[in-house]
Amino acid sequence: MSEVTLTIDDKEVKAKEGMTVLEAAQEAGFDIPTLCHHDKLAPYGGCRLCTVEVNDGRRTRLVTSCVYQVKDGITVKTESEKVVRIRKLLLELLWARAPGVQALRDYGIKYGIDRTKFDIGPTCCILCGQCVRYCAEVKKKNALGFVGRGIRRQVMFFPEIAVEECAKCGGECFSICPTGVLPSNYALTQLPGFTFPTRFLG
Ligand code: FES
């Protein structure tokens, strides 16, 4: 696999072709915020918090670094004014879903966010999808998934699979949930007479 050279925040960095900008940056010691990235899972690009500014010699644009592959000669800014502005907005939106959870609190300190102007009804789930993808990609069970659209989008366990498969697995996905809401979602599927809330199906 051939090597490419890129510049990240004025530092020359070597990376293998096929790597993402996030991987190259992490390997070079840069700390780009992530909420949906997991080393064991395929790149997803859901939370957008890892957004960086890339110049390829022709134009500058914002890209999602966990899915954008390195190219020879590109210049990457991980904390430009535009990038920081977008991260703040995203953090505020996520804060509205999961107010004050530790994962957001940590980034909130860095970017000066400790409240939100958005009112979208907290669910304590930031829809990073790590649990859904872990169950599908690593465990190959699909015991949980996204249901609903827009602000009603939720992660739910599918009782007919979860009751059997999650007991065998022991809830490995619980430990990768950045908000810690997953065990209570799971507990919901165990209630006698549990049925899927139809309001999430539309
Ligand atoms: S970490 Fe890249 S989009 Fe979430």
For residue 43, what pLDDT is reported?
94
For residue 201, what pLDDT is reported?
47
Ligand 1 center from residue 64 Cα (angstroms) = 7
* pLDDT, averaged in runs of 10, over the chain (202 residues): 95 97 98 96 96 97 98 98 97 92 91 90 91 97 92 88 88 92 80 56 46
DSSP assignments along 109-120, one per residue: HHHT-S--S--S
CATH T-level fold of 3-79: Ubiquitin-like (UB roll) (3.10.20)
For residue 200, what pLDDT is reported?
46
For residue 198, what pLDDT is reported?
54
CA–CA separation, 144 and 186 (whole Å): 9
Each domain of the chain, given as residue ranges in start order, spans 3-79, 130-200
- Among 21, 36, 126, say which to mutate for ligand 1: greatest number of ligand atoms within 8 Å of CB: 36
Burial class (CB in 10 A: 0-12, 13-18, 19+), 47: buried
For residue 192, what pLDDT is reported?
63
The structure's pTM equals 0.89
